[in-house]
């Protein structure tokens, strides 16, 4: 997958990683870009800056999100690359189950169900054309864990599971799937975590560096894109020494969570 001459949709395109991807796709000659975000003003600003179209929608509203995706596809004719990137994260509070049902529900709808809604709308035509690509932004937290946010950890694991299902069920039918799992990236989400949190332990990378990694991942067609390569070692360590890994995570917890 190379963005040149491609029709591309990016959710969460108004800020952070999504905005960076929109700008990079535009610079690399994408045919049409749809910037999708709940922040209407910032979405418009990014789109007008790069000659793209802005679509303001809250993707936690599955019906509204599906309607917007149908409208974009009708306008574009077909979608080559769907970047399912918008995401949210909330701290646990007093203990691992103390975040409200409302925050768990939002995390579920945005971090997981939005990927399902997008695939439901876009897959049939992609399968018919035997061509299409999904880039799902999960997180290293979806492969390892998120200290201090069970709702983030759980929903990002689920996003990883959905990306795997997409690839297993449709990966040899012309459907490309890339799973983006960064640790710390210099965005608003990162800035909201006091002191950077455990995800900053290996260093916070710039959006530009993240985009370099995504571009080479898309070009190579590899499923897993790890802008922080050490995450592959942590995954191996986790699967080979589960209890030791949990012990290490507890020590990391002591460094970062009061």
Ligand X SMILES: NC(=O)c1ccc[n+]([C@@H]2O[C@H](COP(=O)([O-])OP(=O)(O)OC[C@H]3O[C@@H](n4cnc5c(N)ncnc54)[C@H](O)[C@@H]3O)[C@@H](O)[C@H]2O)c1
Mark 83-121 as b/e (b = at least 16 C-beta within 10 Å).
bbbbbbbbbbeeeeeebeeebbebbbbbbbbbbbbbbeb
Q: Check residue 184 for interaction with ligand X (CB under 6 A).
A: yes
**Out of 6, 32, 60, 179, which residue is the one contacting ligand X (CB under 6 A)?**
60
Residue 13 Cβ vs ligand X, minimum distance, rounded to whole Å: 7
User: DSSP secondary structure string, the chain?
Assistant: ---TT-EEEEETTTSHHHHHHHHHHHHTT-SEEEEEES-HHHHHHHHHHHT-EEEE--TTSHHHHHHHHHHHHHHHSS-SEEEE---------SSTT-S-HHHHHHHHIIIIIHHHHHHHHHHHHHHHHT-EEEEEE--GGGTS--TT-HHHHHHHHHHHHHHHHHHHHHTTTTEEEEEE--S-BSSHHHHTSGGG-GGGTT-PBPHHHHHHHHHHHHHHT-SEE-SSTHHHHHHHHHHH-HHHHHHHHHHHHHHH--
From the list 135, 187, 180, 178, the residue with the least C-alpha distance to 20 is: 187
- Reading the block at residue 81, the tokens are 């690359």
* Of 175 and 226, CB closest to ligand X: 226
Residue 41 Cβ vs ligand X, minimum distance, rounded to whole Å: 10
Q: Check residue 46 for interaction with ligand X (CB under 6 A).
A: no
**Out of 139, 151, 167, 178, which residue is the one contacting ligand X (CB under 6 A)?**
139
**Out of 26, 30, 35, 38, which residue is the one contacting ligand X (CB under 6 A)?**
38
Q: Check residue 148 for interaction with ligand X (CB under 6 A).
A: no
**Binding segment (CB under 6 A) for ligand X, from list 58-66, 165-173, 213-221, 248-256:** 58-66
**Binding segment (CB under 6 A) for ligand X, from list 6-14, 120-128, 167-175, 215-223:** 6-14
* Of 40 and 244, CB closest to ligand X: 40
**Binding segment (CB under 6 A) for ligand X, from list 57-65, 95-103, 212-220, 229-237:** 57-65
Of residues 88-127, those binding ligand X (CB under 6 A): 88-89, 110
**Out of 44, 58, 131, 164, which residue is the one contacting ligand X (CB under 6 A)?**
58
Q: Check residue 199 for interaction with ligand X (CB under 6 A).
A: yes
**Out of 54, 59, 103, 121, which residue is the one contacting ligand X (CB under 6 A)?**
59
**Out of 3, 6, 8, 15, which residue is the one contacting ligand X (CB under 6 A)?**
15
**Out of 66, 189, 211, 218, which residue is the one contacting ligand X (CB under 6 A)?**
189
Contacts with ligand X by CB under 6 A lie at 11-12, 14-18, 37-39, 58-60, 85-89, 110, 137, 139, 182, 184-185, 187-190, 199
């Amino acid at each position: 997958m190379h963005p040149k001459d491609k029709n591309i949709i990016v959710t969460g395109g108004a800020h952070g990683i999504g905005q960076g991807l929109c700008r990079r796709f535009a610079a690399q000659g994408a045919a049409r870009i749809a910037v999708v975000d709940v922040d209407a003003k910032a979405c418009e600003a990014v789109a007008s800056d790069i000659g793209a179209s802005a679509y303001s929608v809250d993707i936690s509203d599955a019906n509204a999100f599906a309607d917007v995706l149908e409208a974009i596809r009708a306008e574009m004719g077909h979608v080559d690359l769907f970047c399912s990137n918008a995401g949210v994260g909330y701290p646990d509070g007093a203990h691992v189950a103390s975040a409200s049902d409302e925050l768990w529900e939002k995390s579920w709808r945005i971090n997981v169900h939005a990927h399902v809604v997008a695939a439901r709308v876009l897959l049939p035509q992609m399968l018919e054309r035997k061509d299409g690509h999904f880039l799902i932004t999960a997180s290293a937290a979806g492969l390892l864990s998120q200290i201090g946010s069970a709702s983030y950890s759980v929903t990002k694991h689920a996003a990883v599971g959905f990306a795997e299902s997409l690839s297993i069920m449709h990966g040899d039918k012309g459907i490309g799937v890339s799973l983006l799992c960064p640790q710390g990236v210099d965005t608003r989400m990162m800035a909201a975590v006091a002191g950077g949190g455990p995800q900053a332990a290996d260093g916070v990378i710039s959006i530009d560096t993240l985009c370099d990694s995504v571009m080479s991942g898309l070009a190579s067609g590899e499923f897993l894109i790890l802008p922080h390569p050490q995450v592959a070692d942590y995954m191996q360590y986790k699967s080979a020494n589960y209890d030791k890994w949990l012990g290490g995570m507890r020590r990391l917890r002591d460094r970062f969570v009061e």
